[in-house]
A and B are shown apart, each in its own frame.
Chain A
C-alpha cells in the first residue's frame, strides 16, 4: 500500500462514515472484560471501527481506555487477561492468540500500529530512533541504506522534530518527553498499518505541534484509508478528529454516537456531565464541576456504576445494572432512564 493509492482524498467537509457506510469493519470488540489477577478492570466494552473511519474513545482517567487498547493488541502484560467477550480483526477472531502467534501473523507493528500513552513502552532504549524507524519502514518493503535513511528523516520532519537528521542517531533517552512521543508517532505511522491505535498521542505536545501531528495522522488516515482509534480525554481532539465516539466510564462503554451527536446532543448523563465541566472561556464564570471521581475495580458501586455521581439518578439506579442498547431515538447508551431523559428534553 502506498499513500494515495487506496481511495481518492475525501473532500474536507465529507460527511462522517456512519453505520451505513459500505466500508468493511476492521476491528470489532464485543462485550470485552479484562482482569488483572482478581480485579476486573474492564467489564463490558463494545466498539467497532471501519476502514477509513476514526473512532474516539473518551472518558476520565482510570475508566479503562488504555486497558482496552492493550487487550486489543495482546499486550496486557503480567497477570492481565481477557476474561469475557471477543476481539475480531478483519473477520478473524484474535481474542486468545498468544503473543508469538500474533507476531507470526504480523498483527503487531504491521497490521496494527500503536502509539502508546507511555512512550517508554514503545521505544526500545538500546536502539537509536533511526534504527527503530528502519525496522518499521522495512515492513513496507522499503530497503537500501540511503533510501531508508532519507525516508526516516522525512518522517521525523513530518512530526515536527527539530534537527531530524541528527535525531536519527539519538537514543530515546537523549530526547525530551515530547520529542520521544513524536518519534513514536513517526515509527507507528511509518509501517503503514491498516489499524492505527493512538492512545493520548498528543498530550505532551504544544498546541501548534499538536495541530501539526493530528493533521498528519488524519491526512495519512485518509490517504491510506486506515481505521483509526484515538484515545483521549480531550474533547477538542475528539471534535477535530473523530467520526464516531464511544464514551467509557468505570470499565464500560456508556454511549456511542457520531461526533456531532455526542458533542451537540449528548444523551447519557455522564457524557452530559463531562461536557458540562469543560471550561467555556467565559471570563470569570464558574465551571459546573462534576463532583467525585471514577471508582476503581475494588469499590465498584452496585447497579449503574455512575449512580453515586449521577445528577439524574433515581432509587432503582443503585439496584439494577443498565445494559448498552439502542434507545428509541437511535442512540446506543447504557442508562435505565434513557427513554425518560430523552422525552424530558424534547
Chain B
C-alpha cells in the first residue's frame, strides 16, 4: 500500500492502474482455466464532497470497481489509496453502498429499526436508548415516518425500501457512498424524491458519491464528474458538463447518441445504431476494445495500446480517429 502522502490535495481515494480479474473455473475440480479482466488499468482520484458518475454498458465493470473500493474484491494489479488508511475495518465503516434492488439487500425477517441499527450494533457505536434515538433520527433524515421503525421491508414501497437502504448506509457516518444503480429500478417520480434526498444529505454531511448509472440524463443533473467505461477500461473522464456536451471518444459519442430523449421528434428511426458483434469480456478484442463496434474503426486500431491522453481538462483513451497513437 502506497503511503497516504501520495494522495493529491482534497482526494478521498486515489486509484492507480487498478485491475480486477475474476477466475474462470471449469470442470469437476473447478480448475482455473483463465481470467475475466473485469476492470483493467483504471486510474482516477475521487475528491471529497464530489459526485463521480461511472457509466457504461452492462458488464463493463462498474459494480466490480465499486466493490473493489469497498474492499469486497481484491485488486490484482495497481493500488487503491484512501485518505485515512485502507484497513478492512476502517473501510467497512467509512465506505457504504446502496444497491439497485433494495429488497435483495434487506433481510426480510428483520424490522426496519433493526436493519438501520445493525451497523451501529456491530461496530458498537451507540447502545440502548441512544441507539434507538439515533435510528429514529436516521428515519427522519431519510423522510420516513417514525412508525416505519417496527415494520418489515415487504410492508414498504420500493421507494421507501430504498430510503431504508440509504439510512442504513448513513448510520455509519460514512465518507463515501457507492450508489450502484440505486435509483434505476424506481419510477421517475420516486427517483426524483430519492435524488433530491441524496443531494440534501450530501450538502449536509459533505458526502462523496460514486454514482453508478446508465441514465445519462440523471448523470448530467446529479454528478460533478463522469467516467465512461467500456469492457473494463475507462474511455473518457472529465467534468460532466464537458463530457456530455462535447463527447470526444467515439464510444462516449455512441453512448450519448443512443440515449433516448423525451422528445417526440427524437423517433427511434433517427437514432444512429452501433453494428458489429458485442465482444465477450472473456476474450476482449486486441488494441482498442471498442473496435468491433466503432463506426470509425480502422485496421490499425487493433494494435493501439490503451493509454489516456489529455484533451482540454478531460482525459480520453487514445484513439486513431482523434489522431492519437
Contact = CB atoms under 8 A, between A and B. Distances in A.
Nearest to A240: B268
B260 A237 contact: yes
B223 to A, nearest CB: 9
B188 interface: yes
Interface string B156-172: 01111000000000000
Contact of A279 (B157, B192, B258): B192
Given A61-B158, A279-B217, A280-B217, A240 B199 contact: no
B269 A12 contact: yes
Interface in B237-287: 240-241, 244, 254-255, 258-264, 266-271, 273-274, 277-280
Given A211-B268, A215-B269, A278 B260 contact: no
Contact of A233 (B57, B188, B260, B270): B188
Interface in A254-277: 259-260, 263-264, 273-275, 277
A285 B278 contact: no
A263 B58 contact: no
A141 interface: no
B241 A236 contact: no
A331 interface: no
A294 to B, nearest CB: 8
Nearest to B218: A279
Given A162-B278, A287-B195, A279 B187 contact: no
Contact of B255 (A161, A162, A208, A283): A208
Given A236-B260, A239-B266, A275-B262, A60 B221 contact: no
Interface of B: 57-59, 157-160, 187-193, 195-196, 199, 214-218, 220-222, 240-241, 244, 254-255, 258-264, 266-271, 273-274, 277-280, 293
Contact of B195 (A176, A279, A293): A279
Contacts of A233: 187-188
Given A12-B267, A215-B271, A239-B262, A288 B280 contact: no
A205 interface: yes
A178 B221 contact: no
Contacts, number: 145
A154 to B, nearest CB: 14
A235 interface: yes
Contacts of B258: 207-208, 210-211
Interface of A: 12, 60-61, 160-163, 176, 178, 204-212, 214-215, 218, 233-241, 259-260, 263-264, 273-275, 277-291, 293
The 10 closest A-B pairs by CB, nearest first: A236-B260, A206-B57, A289-B192, A281-B220, A287-B192, A290-B189, A277-B192, A211-B258, A240-B268, A60-B187
Contacts of A288: 192
Contacts of A235: 188, 262
B195 A218 contact: no
B217 to A, nearest CB: 4
Nearest to A164: B277
Q: Most A CB atoms within 10 A — which of B221, B261, B277?
A: B221
Contact of A214 (B214, B268, B280): B268
Contact of B57 (A161, A209, A214, A277): A209
A211 B269 contact: no
A240 B260 contact: yes
Contacts of B214: 206-207
Contact of B189 (A208, A264, A277): A277
Contacts of A264: 264
A207 B57 contact: yes
